[in-house]
Structures are given as C-alpha cells and as structure tokens.
Amino acid sequence: MSEPTPALERRRRRTVAWVVALSTAALVFDGYDLVVYGTVVPTLLGDPSHLGAMTPTQAGTLGSYALIGVLVGALAAGAVGDRIGRRKVMLVNLAWFSVGMALTATTHSVQTFGFFRFLTGVGVGALVATVGALVAEFAPPGQRNRYNAIVYSGIPAGGVLAALVALGFGDTIGWRGLFWVGALPIVVLLPLAWFLLPESPKWLVARGRIADAERISARTGLPVPAPELHVPDKVGFPALATRDYAFPTFLLGMMSFAGLLLTYGLNTWLPQIMGEQGYGKSWSLAFLLILNLGAIIGGLAASFFADRLGAKRVVVSTFVLAAITLALLPLDLPSVVLFAAVALAGVGTIGTQVLIYGMVSNYYPTTARAAGVAWCAGFGRLGGIVGPIVGGVLVGAGVGGSTAFQLFAAVSLVGALVTSLVPRTRHVEQAPVEQQEPVAVGSTVTA
C-alpha cells in the first residue's frame, strides 16, 4: 500500500482547483446568457427600432430559442462525451458558445436574433452537460455535492453578473454591448482550458486506457482510480435504458424539468412582473440580483448538508421552500420581507437546480455519467422552454404576476414529490489504486 507524497498532494490540489475554477467560469457565462436576455426584454418590447415590433408572447418564445439549442447541445454532448472524453467537449463548446454570443450582438431582426440565440444555446447545453461529469470525477469523495454546488453556482453567479452589468453599463453599451460581454470566454477561458484542463483519469480507466490515466496521474498528482463495481455493460445513453437506470433516469429528468422551468421562468419574467406591480426598472433588476444571490449562498449552504444527509432529502426540502416563498411573493409584503422572500425563492428554484446537477452527476457510473447529466440538462431544458413561454402568455393576457407565482409554486411541489421517489443508486466506487494493495490494474479493466 502506497501513500501519496506531499509534492503529489500539492499537485493534485492545484489540478482540482484549476478544474473547478475553469468549470465554474464556464458556467458563469451560461448564467450570464440566461439572465442577460431577461434584462433586455423590456428594451426590446418598448422600442421596435432594435429588432422590430414584438409582443410579450413573442418575447417569451424568443427567449426559448436558446433553450431549444441547450437541449440539442446537451444531448449531443451526452452522446459523445462518454466516448471521446470530457476535455474535447469542453474546449470545442467554449469556442462555440462565444461565437454564438458575438453573432447575436450583430443581429437586426427577430428571426436572426432567434437563430443565433439557438446557436449559442447549443454550446451552453454541451458545457452544462459536460461540467457535471467532469467535476464529479475530479472532486474528492464525500465532498462531491459541495464541489458540484460551487461549480454550478456559476450559473446564478452569471445571473448576478448580468444584472450588475445591465444596471451599471446597460444604458452606456446598450443591449448589443451586453451580448458582446458574453463572448469573452473565447479570449479569456479557452486558452487557459487548453493548457490547464486535463482529461479525467476516471474516464480513461473506464475506457481501458490505463497507460494514459497513469501518465496524467504522474503529471497532475491525481490518483489512478480503481474500476467501479455494478457498472452496466453499455456506454452512454444506452446505459440509461437498462433495467437499473431507466426509471431513475425518468425521475431525474422530471426533477430537472421542474427545476429549470422555475429557473428560466423567474429569470426571464421577474423584472417584467415586478415592474407591472409598480416597481421601477432599477428595483425590478434588483429583484433579479437578489434572486440569484440567494441561489448562490443558499445552494452552497445546502450542498454542505447534501454531503452529510444525502442530496435527495435536501432537494425535497428546497423544492418545498420554493413553493412556500413563491406563494408569498404576490402578497403586499413589507420591502424587507419581500426581498427576503425573493432570496429564499432563489434558493428553492435556481439553488435547487444546482443541487439536482450534483445529485445526477454522482448517481451514474463513469461510463454513463456524461449521458446522465446530459439527459438531466437536456430534458430539463424542456421545462426551461416552457417557463418563459408560460410567463409570456400570462403577462400578455394581463393575468398578472399572482397567477404566475402560484403556478410556479405548484410546479415546486410536484418537483418535491418526484424527487422523493428516486431510488438509491446501485453503482459502487472502489478506493483509488494507491490506497489498495498492489494489484495488476490492467488485468481488471477492459476497454
């Protein structure tokens, strides 16, 4: 039995820190893309000189184009991620996403704006699906929910960034400038990821590439993982259809559907709904800021309990929290109480989706992990598509925010019920090779 040296341990910690930092930064821009559209909707609705005349229903549908792209990108990444690796998918889609944001900033019609929003969504979906698998395979055992929460908190952090940029510079750089900001990953993140993001040793071992895993282990200080137990023979999406994973996969997809319906519905329409209730533009954007700040702080706090009590229990609790706070928002609450309710709603909606990604990425074995997270991100995005459309229909019909918030509260309760039905996972991980008695690792793993 061998123990890692202090030098190897320092190298391992540095590698994991870079993986977490790069993954978080990538998802910050995902969250930026999510929220920046909500910040420009009032401008596009109020001034047809930008893209042409637009109704609230059309704006809701237009906001869903990016989500359709996310669905396509997530499923595409899931189809190839378990076969070609995590690193390649990350690099390609950092560039893809950035180009999509830049092209969106140059559009002058509703049709081209919608098309490039879809194109951007493809890159976003691939990143969201891949990051969960990547972090689950680099995070230390017993801290995976926390690491996933840190990384996926990049999404609401991007929402905070979008709200701050819109508040501070929106009048100066205009809506086009806000989208140009979203194109920065190609010059900021992509070069760093190219040099500092290694392939997952766990994925290499699962694919039978032991020599490659050992080479990366020597360079990064990461342990060479032992083969997993109770792993399906099939790889990728076919593994999700096996007897052990078919029903849980359906439930996990429905959880994500509920979580993303709430996330996208609120981020797209909260400024508009609160504006119609008498709050000015700055106040409406402040609510968006508080919603996402609550998601970051609450999601990180909840992940601490998820590692100790189990993610399932915590997700059920945060879904119920969302239902309670969303039901309170239409009431005539004092300002302090209203801001607190919005923050807690962020915990129960966006924060819950952060926890769902962590739960899903740790549920599946390595040979199906990218596909499982992709299914969660892809099928869940159908909920993200429905959320803005429903909000747009309700606002366009003049129903008001009260009905929208009540509907979102009901979705939260359904999410809690579905989560409670998810069975325990069957796949089992062994300790890393250097923590076991010396064994011929190559003799126990097949390609």
State mean pLDDT over 243-259. 94
Residue-wise pLDDT tens digits, 304-359: 999 999 899 999 999 999 999 998 888 878 888 888 999 999 999 989 998 999 99
For residue 435, what pLDDT band results from cuts at 50, 70 and 90? very low
pLDDT at 416: 97
Residue 367's pLDDT is 84
Comparing 193 with 66, the larger pLDDT belongs to 193
| pLDDT value for 158 | 87
Residues 6 or more apart in contact with residue 341 via CB below 8 angstroms: 325, 328, 329, 333
End-to-end CA distance of the chain: 26
Report the pLDDT value the prediction gives residue 438, as an integer from 0 to 100. 36
- Average pLDDT, stretch 22-44? 87
Q: Give the C-alpha separation, 173 to 207, whole Å.
A: 48
pLDDT at residue number 93: 94
pLDDT of 20 > 80? The answer is yes
Whether 157 shows a pLDDT value over 90: the answer reads: no
Alpha-carbon separation of residue 94 from 63, 97, 135, 185, 335 (angstroms) = 21, 5, 16, 6, 40
From the list 210, 213, 199, 223, the residue with the least C-alpha distance to 82 is 199
pLDDT, position 436: 42
Using the predicted structure, report yes or no on whether residue 196 has a pLDDT greater than 50: yes
Residue length of the chain:
447
**Per-residue pLDDT, 321:** 96
pLDDT at residue number 55: 79
pLDDT above 60: residue 445: no
pTM: 0.81
Higher-confidence residue of 100 and 366: namely: 100
List all residues 6 or more positions away from 245 whose beta carbon is below 8 Å from its beta carbon. Answer: 232, 239, 364, 368, 372
CA distance 335 to 341: 10
Tokens of residue 209, six digits: 């590439």
Single out the residue of 338, 322, 324 nearest to residue 263, CA to CA: 322
- pLDDT digits 0-9 by tens, 81-131: 888 888 999 999 999 999 999 999 999 888 899 999 999 999 999 998 899
pLDDT attached to residue 427 = 65
The residues that bridge with 229 in the sheet, in sequence order, are: 428
Which residues contact residue 437 at a Cβ distance below 8 angstroms, ignoring those fewer than 6 apart?
Answer: 1
Work out the angle at residue 64's Cα, subtended by the Cα atoms of residues 173 and 318, and round it to the nearest 5 degrees: 95
Predicted local confidence at residue 444, as pLDDT: 32
**Mean pLDDT, rounded, of the chain:** 85
Residues of the chain above pLDDT 90, percent: 36
pLDDT exceeds cutoff 60 at 220:
yes
pLDDT at 66 over 90: no
User: Does the pLDDT value for residue 432 go beyond 70?
Assistant: no
Tell me the one-letter amino acid at 266.
L
CB atoms within 10 A of CB 112: 14
Burial class (CB in 10 A: 0-12, 13-18, 19+), 84: middle
Site of tokens 């909260």: 270
In the chain, what are the domains? 6-444 (1.20.1250.20)
pLDDT score at 383: 87
Q: What is the pLDDT of residues 167-176, one digit of tens each?
A: 888 888 999 9
Strand partners, 428: 229
